[in-house]
Amino acid sequence: MPRRAFKIVTIVVIVVVLALVLTAVRIYTYGNNSSDTQADAAVVLGAAVWSQGVSPVFRERINHAIDLYRRKRVHKIIFTGGQGNRNEPTEAAAARDYALSNGINQSDILIEQRSHTTYENLLFAKQLADVHGLKKLLIVSDPMHMKRAIAMAHDVGLDAYPSPTTTTRYIGFRSQVEELTRETFYYLGYTISSFVTQPPVEAMALSAAAVSVTPTDADFDNHVARLKQRLPSNDFSIVVQRPFVVIGDEPESVVKEHAERTIKWTVEKLKQDFFTEDPKEILDIWLFKDAASYRKHADLLFGHKPSTPYGYYSRPNKALVMNIATGAGTLVHEIVHPFIEANFPSCPAWLNEGLGSLYEQSGEEDGHIHGYVNWRLPGLETAIMAGRVKSFRELMEMKSSEFYGDSQGVNYAQARYLCYYLQQKGLLVKFYKQFHANRKTDRSGYETLKSVLGETDMHQFQRKWEKFVLELGEEFALTVPN
């Protein structure tokens, strides 16, 4: 080998070795850091499950979360992890059973059972946290897993803090070296891939889409057969309305009418203007006939009490859960969300909820779905007059936890009436399609919005939009009976 080439190779080897050593040191020292922050929930990253129960490594993670709960550092625990072997329970289910046997309230336990990697643990935990309004999270795992886990947690948009187990099973010198070596390569691999590939959320979603198969007639038949075994009583009817299965505790004719008049219509109209792909999995729509049935069966079937009287989309349970007595508006709203997931998985919260809430009061105009002024308007007008409405840049660049953390509903209303403005100007479909095309370079949609509007001064546009909204109030007041 020529002398110059030998020198270059030597330098490269030294640089690589130094990078490995420095990374290993950072991982090891980071594992000693434990946040003392108060949080909404602890997220326990999955680990092996054995036939006789959770593995020792997983058990110590669960015990740590239980300790956080008992010391009131968190008030919920999210267990993560799918099924490793066919004859064993999912990691999350096994962890839940262990926690229940140790006295943790079932209502304070949430589980996701789809994930098979650390990244998926955190991505699906985020979906669960968003649904339940959990903002600040402690991530529980082994110390040397912590640096990679926190990096991934931040990448999926979690407000996450480290809480490594203090009783890790990796205590021997050999096991620690093996675990540190493994984590060093995994961490470097993840860091490098984050720089050279597309955003992780989008990449994972596209990968899943590439291998997914549209459910067949046989898939729907098997799904319905399994559902029949879960039905709480003989009062329930099941109607297949692709891509959903609709279950209701009313006569089959009534359930079928909901399926055809609301669900089929909504799917057709949304796909006409916005979406090309159906959800990749069969999703259930549970229509409960009144508030009492809704509360009872949400608890019975899914293990938690609803936080809204209308209905919600539960990603972990692959279900839309509705109190249909309140009307079909919330159902139309929630149908938007699984279609967004299938077609635009990196869609920011403002557009996901803005589009969904636009159609919670909707009808058909010129053959297309059309949103109308609704109950969210008065609160938005009050916020505008009080100067409490954020700039569009702030709204659109919010993390999900910030968007959903607004207890007054102003973020929802602002997002809805931005979509409404675009609709009224004939720009909503154009904006959605251009934003979807630009999603890798414009993560929030803000630059696309400026382009579609033809606006350069967004401060001036905001004043124009606020005037538009306040004038809507006069129209809305005329439709509200005294």
Does residue 17 lie in a domain region? no
Clarify whether residues 366 and 316 are in a common domain: no
Cβ count within 10 A of residue 479: 8
pTM equals: 0.60
Residue with tokens 């249909």, as numbered in its chain: 324
Query: 406 and 443: one domain?
Result: yes
CATH number assigned to the domain comprising residue 81: 3.40.50.620
- Give the chain's length: 482
How far, in Å, CA of 370 to CA of 426, rounded? 11
Cα 317 to its chain centre, rounded Å, is 12
Q: Is residue 48 part of a domain?
A: yes
Which among 282, 310, 333 is the end of a domain? 333
444 and 303 in a common domain: no
DSSP 261: I
Cα 53 versus chain centre, distance: 29
Q: Which two tokens stand for residue 440?
A: 């890798």
* Domain region containing 316: 215-333
Q: Is residue 11 part of a domain?
A: no
Q: Report the distance separating Cα 54 and Cα 48, nearest Å.
A: 7
Same domain, 234 and 185: no
Q: Answer whether residue 30 is part of any domain.
A: no
> Among 280, 299, 333, where does a domain finish?
333
List the one residue out of 28, 328, 73 whose CA is nearest residue 182: 28
Cα separation, 482 vs 479, in Å, equals 9
Give dist(CA 193, CA 460) in Å, integer. 41
My answer on whether 154 and 252 are in the same domain is no
Question: CATH code at 311?
Answer: 3.40.30
Verify that 183 and 72 share a domain, yes or no: yes
Q: Which two tokens stand for residue 354?
A: 């803005």
DSSP single-letter state for residue 390: P
Helix (H, G, I), strand (E, B) or coil at 231: coil
Q: Locate all alpha helices (DSSP H) within 231-290, ordered by sequence.
A: 252-258, 265-273
Distance CA 199, CA 265 (A): 34
Last residue of a domain, which of 333, 357, 385? 333
Beta bridge partners of 321: 286, 312
Domain-located, residue 115: yes
Give the integer Cα–Cα distance in Å for 228 and 394: 47
Q: Do both 154 and 245 map to the same domain?
A: no
Residues 220 and 140 in one domain: no
DSSP one-letter code for 264: I
Tell the burial category of 20 from Cβ atoms under 10 Å away from its Cβ (0-12, 13-18, 19+): middle
Same-domain check for residues 135 and 164: yes
d(Cα 396, Cα 343) in Å, to the nearest integer?
19
Residue 188: per-residue pLDDT: 82
In terms of domains, do 286 and 416 share one? no
**Contact at 8 Å (CB) between 306 and 321?**
yes
Domains: count for the chain:
3
Look at residues 35, 58, 274, 242 and name the one whose alpha carbon lies nearest to residue 136. Answer: 35
Residue 207 CB contacts under 8 Å (≥ 6 apart), including other chains: none
pLDDT tens series, the chain, 482 aa? 577 776 777 777 777 778 777 878 888 888 888 888 899 999 999 888 887 788 888 999 999 999 999 999 999 999 999 887 666 788 998 999 999 999 999 889 999 988 889 999 999 999 888 878 898 999 999 998 899 999 999 988 899 999 999 876 555 667 677 777 888 888 888 877 766 554 444 444 444 443 345 678 888 998 899 899 889 999 999 999 999 999 999 999 999 999 999 999 999 999 999 999 998 889 999 999 999 999 999 999 988 789 899 999 988 888 999 999 999 999 999 999 999 998 998 999 999 999 999 999 999 999 999 999 999 999 999 999 999 999 999 999 999 889 998 878 999 999 999 999 999 999 999 999 999 999 989 999 999 999 999 999 999 999 999 999 999 975 554 443 33
Task: Report the alpha-carbon distance of residue 116 to residue 164 in Å, rounded.
Answer: 20
Q: Is residue 32 part of a domain?
A: no
Are 404 and 367 members of one domain? yes
Considering the domain architecture, whether residues 71 and 177 belong to the same structural domain is answered as yes
